[in-house]
Structure 1
Amino acid sequence: MEPFDIYLASASPRRRELLRQIGVRYRLLDVAISETRLDNEAPEAYVRRVARDKARAGLALIDEKPPRAVLGADTVIVIDDEVLGKPQDRAEAIAMLQRLSGRTHQVLSGVALIDREEYEALNVSQVTFRGLNRAECERYWQTGESQGKAGAYAIQGYAAAFVRELCGSYSGVMGLPLYETAQLLQQVGIDLFSDRD
């Protein structure tokens, strides 16, 4: 069995890629939780709660004493105080992209790392899109990148051409803010720059 550092409670290939980027060895956990936003729940509280719920659900699946840390994360787009989740269809994706066109929006990424204790972090980034016409939004939908992405775009793909300015964390916009994640890993004794075999 390959050695590993943490469990990852996420199906996101972007989060896997980002963890590999900083040398974190992980084992995947398949968790299913409700990602429905509660009435009057602030976007920051919502993204933190979903990340925490994913990590807690992952922890419930393992039988280790003491438990190895489980990482959960969630990312949402916020514009005009409204949370934009994953589009349900083509029309919703195009409407989201047109709403982001020529404007600045927030990307909130919550991270939770749980073993015997719970550690959390929140990253807030500002992303400004150039103006997009409907035909561009339609063509972007055809790439398939909108599907399963908060706000209907993936900054690491074709949508990088839409981003006029980014203030914050590129990895956070992708779905896992690596600075904050590394800080949490240190909290549970995982030093990314030491020999961990």
Structure 2
Amino acid sequence: MDGIVLASSSPRRRELLEKLGIDFRVIPPQIDETPFPDETPYSYVLRISTEKALSVSRSLSGNWIVIGADTTVTVDDEILGKPEDKEEARVILNKLSGREHTVITAFCIVRSKAEILHKQIVESKVKIKRLEPWEIEGYIKTGEPMDKAGAYGIQGIGAFMIEEIHGSYTNIVGLPLSQLIDVLTKLGVLKLFSCQDEHC
């Protein structure tokens, strides 16, 4: 195996993998991420994560393992992606205010030349406190909501609005590390520790 490639333009996914000390390359995929009409949030993230991994894998020569991932926020079965402008960020944050929502991340692992090895969806629940109008406006002015699904970053200033979470924290950030590492280890792609059993 030549190595691992993260098919992503997300700095947050890159930072998560870097914290584990994993050697990998980053290649941003070039795909259209527009949802299909009537596409469910689950179908959407699974399709986009797969397309990201396949797109990058087809551009590589050699034997690479490519990881694609996509995250969306959903409330009332509506996909809340990255806001295109401040007004959309305002609308999204008002929808999330005082409510629980679901963060869904799908990841797809592909071997070079489009051999799909694994696909998986992970979801987490997040409860947002009731937001005052001035909190929404102040948060939007920081610029943080603009490149994030659901218009907030739990790992940044957006932490001020989080009342509770259920499920994987790293899934909310953008990559469910526990599940991903488990799959990569079982596939023989990754050896996080020098010993892999109780006889270390």
Q: TM-score, normalised by structure 1?
A: 0.92
Aligned match of 2:198: none
Shift of 1:147: 1.1
| 1:77-156 equivalences in 2 (<5 Å) | 77-115=73-111, 116-156=115-155
**Matched residues, percent identical?**
41
Q: CA deviation at 1:16?
A: 0.6
Within the candidate set 7, 10, 24, 1:12 is matched to: 10
Q: Which deviations, in whole Å up to 9, do the C-alpha atoms of 1:78-109 show, x marking residues without a partner? A: 00110000001001101111110000000000
Residue 94 of structure 1 contacts residue 134 of structure 1 at CA under 8 Å; is this kept in 2? no
Q: Can you give the 5+ residue segments of structure 2 that lack an aligned partner in the other structure?
A: 196-200
Matching residue of 2:50: 52
TM-score (ref. length: structure 2): 0.91
The corresponding residue for 2:166 is 167
Q: What stretches of structure 1 of length at least 5 have no aligned partner?
A: none
Cα distance in 1, alignment partners of residues 74 and 151 from structure 2: 12
Q: Larger deviation: 124-133 or 23-32?
A: 23-32
The residue matched to 1:61 in structure 2 has which SS?
A: coil
1:27 and 1:33 map into 2 onto residues whose CA distance is 19
2:72 is aligned to 76
Kindly indicate whether the alpha-carbon contact (under 8 Å) linking 1:76 and 1:84 is maintained by their aligned counterparts in 2: yes
Contact 2:9–2:28 under 8 Å retained in 1: yes
* Corresponding residue SS for 2:58: helix
- Take 2:51 and 2:169, find their aligned partners in 1: how far apart are those partners? 24
Count of equivalent residues = 191
